[in-house]
Amino acid sequence: MITSIGYAAKSAKAALEPFSFERREPGEHDVLITIDYCGVCHSDIHQARDEWGGGTFPMVPGHEIVGRVERVGTKVNKFKVGDKVGVGCMVDSCRHCQPCERSLEQYCENTASWTYNGMLQDKKNPTFGGYANNIVVNQDFVLRIPDNLDLAAAAPLLCAGITTYSPLRQWQIKPGQKVGIVGLGGLGHMAVKLAHAMGAHTVVLTHSPNKREDALRLGANEILISTDADAMLSHQGSFDFLLSTISAPYDINAYLNLLNLDGTMVFVGVPENPFTLQAFSMIGKRRRLAGSLIGGIAETQEMLDFCGKHNITADIEMINIDKINEAYERMLKSDVRYRFVIDMKSLKP
């Protein structure tokens, strides 16, 4: 076994604290990765606090992992020692169900192995995430980070990047469309950069008026303050597409009313409570509402290559790992510009 050190929540809602644990020896197809940086996703908070239920503790969160290959198994042919690599929200899946065969491993019918708070495919051994010094992953779930991208700023691409790229691609966002990105946090700011790079007329919808300048700098054409009723009214029925990244409970009808005929709203944010949906928000303009979960492995590599080509990374605030609990509190106050990334050099044995 390999000894790992990291930070864990020992129980639901407990603060994160230093934790030592074991990972499997790398098998024939496995890669041992030394983790340099790990992004902090709002899903880490939801799960460490067991807001979605069914969490397994102790929990080592973290699924925006970047680092370097330290060791490879005898049958590994995609990576070599020293490669710059990443690991996102999954470390394995069944490989044989229909979604897996279509490289939609996130929708695996036999449950993907989530990077943490999940089970390996043996359905016996729990997974531990990237707030740690190393990780062992089957090479098929390891991603290649383009050389031109700063490694720390690329970490958030592994979840925030793919989670916003996938729906923008699925709904074929293109120049000339009016696209709204709802919530300017970790996911939202990546969505703005990606939608802008895809040529859409990009509008940021935020409940934080002080993010106006940032939104424009990140690539938004317009900004709409969601608490300004008149401004919201003036945009009614005008959007082709909306992507909501809001992490807290909100009135989804207020956003649906912004869509034009046949417009689509996709939510990726996962508030703790159910939505209340008014039928009239949907029927008048034949609107559509959909959800989306991260992206498959092939699409994640496609997104990374797209980001390499367009020189897109996250705007990050680097933290030492002992500041993780403070970072969570700041994220809950929408006070993050725009993704915390843990510098794993700060992790001490």
250 makes contact with ligand NAP (CB under 6 A): yes
- The number of angstroms, rounded, from the C-alpha of 184 to the middle of its chain's C-alpha atoms is 13
**One residue of 138, 247, 257, 281 binding ligand NAP per CB under 6 A:** 247
CB of 127 to ligand NAP, least distance (A): 17
Half-sphere exposure of 189 (CA within 13 A, CB side): 25
| Rounded Cα gap, residues 336 and 343, in angstroms | 16
Residue 161 binds which entry of ligand NAP, Zn ion, none, with Cβ cut-offs from 5 to 8 Å by kind?
A: none
- Site track for ligand NAP across 37-76, x = CB under 6 A: ----xxx--x------------------------------
Nearest CB to ligand NAP, comparing residues 216 and 293: 293
| Rounded Cα gap, residues 227 and 182, in angstroms | 12
CB of 303 to ligand NAP, least distance (A): 13
Nearest CB to ligand NAP, comparing residues 32 and 215: 215
CB of 212 to ligand NAP, least distance (A): 10
Residue 93 binds which entry of Zn ion, ligand NAP, none, with Cβ cut-offs from 5 to 8 Å by kind?
A: Zn ion
Position 136, amino acid: V
Span from 53-61, 144-152, 231-239, 268-276 in contact with ligand NAP (CB under 6 A): 268-276
167 makes contact with ligand NAP (CB under 6 A): no
User: Three-state SS across the chain?
Assistant: CEEEEEEEECCCCCCEEEEEEEECCCCCCEEEEEEEEEECCHHHHHHHCCCCCCCCCCECCCCCEEEEEEEECCCCCCCCCCCEEEECCEEECCCCCHHHHCCCHHHCCCCCEECCCCECCCCCCECCCCCECEEEEEHHHCEECCCCCCHHHHHHHHCHHHHHHHHHHHCCCCCCCEEEEECCCHHHHHHHHHHHHCCCEEEEEECCHHHHHHHHHHCCCEEEECCCHHHHHHCCCCEEEEEECCCCCCCHHHHHCCEEEEEEEEECCCCCCCCCCCCHHHHCCCCEEEECCCCCHHHHHHHHHHHHHHCCCCCEEEEEHHHHHHHHHHHHCCCCCCEEEEEHHHCCC
Residue 325 binds which entry of ligand NAP, Zn ion, none, with Cβ cut-offs from 5 to 8 Å by kind?
A: none
CB of 61 to ligand NAP, least distance (A): 11
159 makes contact with ligand NAP (CB under 6 A): yes
Span from 124-132, 177-185, 229-237, 257-265 in contact with ligand NAP (CB under 6 A): 177-185
293 makes contact with ligand NAP (CB under 6 A): yes
Nearest CB to Zn ion, comparing residues 108 and 223: 108
**Cα separations in angstroms, 10 against 54, 57, 327:** 14, 6, 18
**One residue of 49, 207, 323, 330 binding ligand NAP per CB under 6 A:** 207
CB of 136 to ligand NAP, least distance (A): 23
CB of 28 to ligand NAP, least distance (A): 31
**One residue of 76, 268, 304, 342 binding ligand NAP per CB under 6 A:** 268
Residue 250 binds which entry of ligand NAP, Zn ion, none, with Cβ cut-offs from 5 to 8 Å by kind?
A: ligand NAP
Residues lying near ligand NAP in the complex (CB under 6 A) are found at 41-43, 46, 159-160, 163, 183-188, 206-208, 211, 245-248, 250, 268-270, 292-294, 331, 334, 336
